[in-house]
Amino acid sequence: MSKKLNIPWSKPDISENEKQAIHKVVESDWYSQGPLTKKFEDELSNYIDSNVSVVNSGTSAIICALLAHNFKPGDLVLVPDFTFFATLSSPKFLGAKIITADVDQKTLNISPVQVEEIVKNNDIKFVIVVDIAGLPVDIDAFEELASKYNFTLIEDAAQALGSEYKNKKIGSFNHTTTFSFHIAKQITTIEGGCVSSNDEKISERIKQLRDHGRSNSKNYSHDLIGSNFRTTDLQSCIGLEQIKKIDRYLSNRQIISKKYKDELKNVNFQENPNYSVRHSNMMFFTIYPNKGIRDKNFKILQENGIDAKLPWPPLHSQPANPELNNKSHINTEIISDTALMLPIFNKMTEEEADYVIECSNKI
Ligand SMILES: Cc1ncc(COP(=O)(O)O)c(C=O)c1O
C-alpha cells in the first residue's frame, strides 16, 4: 500500500500568472467591472463561438437567461431531478412553478423522451437541461422539442465549459446557455459565470439586466427590472489567465478520467453517447451495485484522506421543495443512493489517481 495522501475533491490552479494579473489590477486603480471584463467576454466569445455576457455566478447566469427570455412569475419550468440545487432554485426564486423530470440512469442526464412525456401534457414555458459532469445532453433532440412544443430551452452548462456536442462547443447552439466559474470548475474566477447566446439582442439584454436594467451605464435610466449581477475586473483578470490554459486542463482531466475507467474495478461509469465528442470531466461519477457497497467505499476513501463526495439528493426530496416531496423519480433515487463523485481537477497527477484507484479497489 502506498503512503497515505490527502486528495481534495477539486483544486483550482491559481499560479504566478494569476497572482501577477491580480497585482496589476490593484495597481491600475480600476477594480470593478471594466475593460478586463470586456476582454474576458471577447476571449470567451471566441472560445465558445457565440456572444458571451459575464456575470457574477452561474446562478446569476440562469436568472439572467430566464429574465432575458421574458420569464413571468407563475411560469411552469421543467428541470431535471438530478442536478445541483441552483438549476431549480434560480427559476423558483423568480416565482416559477417547478416540475421535475427523472434522468436517464446511464448518462445521468435528462432525456428527450422523459421531457416529451411532460411537455405534451403541461403548459411548460421553459425547460432547463443540464450537462451533468460535463456530458452534453442530446441538443438536437431538445431543440426539436422546443420548437414542436413551443417552450424556451435553456442549457445549464455550469459543468460543461469546453464540452462538445457533434463537434461544436456547448454554448454555440441556437438556445441560451449558462456557465459557472465557481472555484471547483474547469476555469475559475473564484465566483463567476456567463451566458452565451447567438442572438445579440439576448446578449445585450443580459448586459443590461446585470446592471440593474440600466439602458446605458452612463445615465440612470432603467427600462428593465434587473439587479446587480456584475462581476469585477479583479475576477476577470483571473479568468483571462485561466482561459489560456483550458485545453491543457481538459486534456489532463481526460487522462485522469480514462485512467479511472481503465483501472477501477466493479463499478459503472456515466455512459458517453457518440454525439458527445468532448466531455469536460468537471466531475467524475462512479456507480456501485448498491447503496451498501457505495457507503462502504465512501468510508474507505474518507479514511484514506480522499475527499470523494456523495451526489446530490433528488431535488424532489429536498426540504425546501415540500410541494415536490410526494413525487418519485426512480432513476434519480437510485443514482443518488449508489453513486460517488471521485476527485478530479486540472493538475491532478497520475500518482494521485493511482492512489484513489488503489483505495477504491480494496473493496
Ligand atoms: C449544474 C449547476 N448549475 C448551477 C450552478 C451554480 O453555479 P454557481 O455556483 O457559480 O452559482 C452549479 C454550480 O456548481 C451547477 O453545478
C-beta separation of 112 from 131 below 8 A: no
Q: What's residue 362's pLDDT?
A: 87
CA distance linking residue 176 with residue 243, whole number of Å: 21
CATH of the domain at 21: 3.40.640.10
Residues forming a β-bridge with 287: 268, 339
All three cell numbers of 43: 476571449
Q: What's residue 354's pLDDT?
A: 97
CA distance linking residue 133 with residue 135, whole number of Å: 6
| Distance between Cα 81 and ligand 1 center (Å) | 15
E strand or H helix that includes residue 252: helix 246-263
* Regions in the chain scoring below 70 on pLDDT: 1
Given the CA of residue 87, which atom of ligand 1 is nearest to it?
Answer: 3
Residue 283 Cβ inside 6 Å of ligand 1? The answer reads no
Q: What's residue 1's pLDDT?
A: 61
CA distance linking residue 51 with residue 171, whole number of Å: 9
Query: Considering the domain boundaries, does residue 9 fall inside one?
Result: no
Q: How many residues does the chain have?
A: 363
Per-residue pLDDT reduced to its tens digit, 121-152: 999 999 999 999 999 999 999 999 999 999 99
Query: Considering the domain boundaries, does residue 336 fall inside one?
Result: yes
Per-residue pLDDT reduced to its tens digit, 42-84: 999 999 999 999 999 999 999 999 999 999 999 999 999 999 9
| 96 plus 211 within the same structural domain | yes
CA distance linking residue 181 with residue 101, whole number of Å: 26
| Distance between Cα 83 and ligand 1 center (Å) | 9
277: number of CA atoms within 13 Å, CB side? 7
**Chain center to CA of 163:** 11
| 282 plus 343 within the same structural domain | yes
Q: What's the mean per-residue pLDDT of the chain?
A: 97
Residue 158 Cβ inside 6 Å of ligand 1? The answer reads yes
Query: Considering the domain boundaries, does residue 5 fall inside one?
Result: no
| 218 plus 259 within the same structural domain | no
Phi, psi at 94, each rounded to 5° = -85, -5
Residue 84 Cβ inside 6 Å of ligand 1? The answer reads yes
> Which of 159, 161, 195 has most ligand 1 atoms within 8 Å of CB, for mutation?
159
pTM, full prediction: 0.98
Query: Considering the domain boundaries, does residue 89 fall inside one?
Result: yes
What domain range includes position 198?
A: 16-244
| 271 plus 307 within the same structural domain | yes
| 239 plus 270 within the same structural domain | no
Query: Considering the domain boundaries, does residue 11 fall inside one?
Result: no
